[in-house]
Amino acid sequence: MPTFRTLNKITRVRERGGGKAD
């Protein structure tokens, strides 16, 4: 399971309109 930081990063990328989070 991804860490909170990873989830937060994914959320930011999604808000910017990015597809996959690095």
Cα 19 vs. chain centroid, distance in angstroms? 9
In order of 5, 6, 19, 21, the CA distances from 2 in angstroms are: 8, 6, 17, 12
pLDDT at residue 7, rounded to an integer: 80
pLDDT at residue 5, rounded to an integer: 83
pLDDT at residue 17, rounded to an integer: 61
**20: which DSSP letter?**
S
Question: What are the tens digits of pLDDT across the range 1-22?
Answer: 678 888 888 777 766 665 555 5
Alpha-carbon distance of 10 to 16, in angstroms, equals 10
Are 21 and 9 in contact, with CB atoms under 8 Å apart? yes
